[in-house]
């Protein structure tokens, strides 16, 4: 298994500002993902964070709005840029260790945009 | 695009009852299926993982089954306890990648 931490755990932000969320894993992992869970909705994949290269974004998500970094095999950041109230969600980091098939999730970052 | 549906959306049962949560998916070409538990203010906890070649998995009071041909999975919880109260999420992994497609979840309340 993998132990994942996220910072911050929650935040309240003003419209038009940006927030960077950090994800730290206690071991090296091959795959890291960022998901969003809007109120009352299921989790939706934003992107796959690739180590050493640009992230792979899902349909409906773009790099300018959600820039992602992954400088090594244990750490990634997701930035929510130029926020609006529609960005109020829980943002979750997940990892999959090679060959495990199971994804492990961080505790999430609860974001409220006013 | 894979669509995952969970029924019921919410369920309330008295302690001690056995219960079944349902998950259906539209594309049977799956890599695996995973059941998670989500507690308020916390992340997701993996409960059971079923590979596409398997029919079921068991862990303690939990049993998950998979019928790929009909696009269905069930999570059976035996002798429910108040501590089982949480939202249960079904997630399907596709053959084309590692992304998981999630259902909206079943919110379970077990009353003492």
Instruction: Extract the residue ranges of chain A whose pLDDT is less than 50.
Output: none
Instruction: Extract the residue ranges of chain B whose pLDDT is less than 50.
Output: none
Q: pLDDT value at position B56?
A: 96
Q: pLDDT value at position B43?
A: 83
Instruction: Give B88's contacts (C-beta < 8 A, 6+ positions apart).
Output: B6, B21, B35, B36, B37, B38, B47, B75, B105, B106, B108
Question: DSSP state, A66?
Answer: S
Contact B42 A108 (CB under 8 A): yes
Q: pLDDT value at position B97?
A: 62
Residue A96 forms contact with B (CB below 8 Å): yes
CA distance B107 to A56: 32
Q: Which of A43, A58, A94, A98 to mutate to test the interface with B (most CBs of B within 10 A)?
A: A43
pLDDT digits 0-9 by tens, A26-37 = 999 888 999 999
Q: pLDDT value at position B25?
A: 96
Q: Considering only the beta carbons, identify the residue of A33, A44, A102 that sits closest to B49.
A: A102
């Amino acid at each position: 298994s993998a132990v994942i931490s996220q910072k911050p755990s929650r935040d309240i932000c003003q419209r038009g500002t940006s927030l960077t969320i950090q994800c730290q894993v206690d071991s090296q992992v091959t795959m890291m993902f960022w998901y969003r869970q809007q109120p009352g909705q299921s989790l939706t994949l934003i992107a796959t964070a690739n180590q050493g290269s640009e992230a792979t974004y899902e349909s409906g998500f773009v790099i300018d709005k959600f820039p992602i970094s992954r400088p090594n095999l244990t750490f990634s950041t997701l930035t929510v840029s130029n926020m609006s109230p529609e960005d109020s969600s829980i943002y979750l980091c997940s990892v999959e260790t090679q060959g495990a098939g199971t994804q492990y999730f961080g505790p999430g970052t609860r974001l409220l945009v006013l | 695009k894979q669509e995952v549906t969970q029924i019921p959306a919410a369920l309330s049962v008295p302690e001690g009852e056995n219960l079944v949560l349902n998950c259906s998916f539209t594309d049977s070409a799956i890599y695996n299926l995973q059941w998670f538990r989500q507690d308020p203010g916390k992340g997701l906890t993996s409960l059971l993982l079923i590979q596409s070649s398997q029919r079921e998995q068991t862990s303690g009071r939990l049993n998950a089954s998979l019928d790929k041909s009909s696009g269905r999975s069930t999570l059976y919880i035996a002798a429910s306890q108040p501590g089982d109260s949480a939202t249960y999420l079904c997630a399907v992994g596709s053959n084309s990648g590692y992304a998981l497609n999630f259902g909206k979840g079943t919110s379970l309340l077990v009353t003492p």
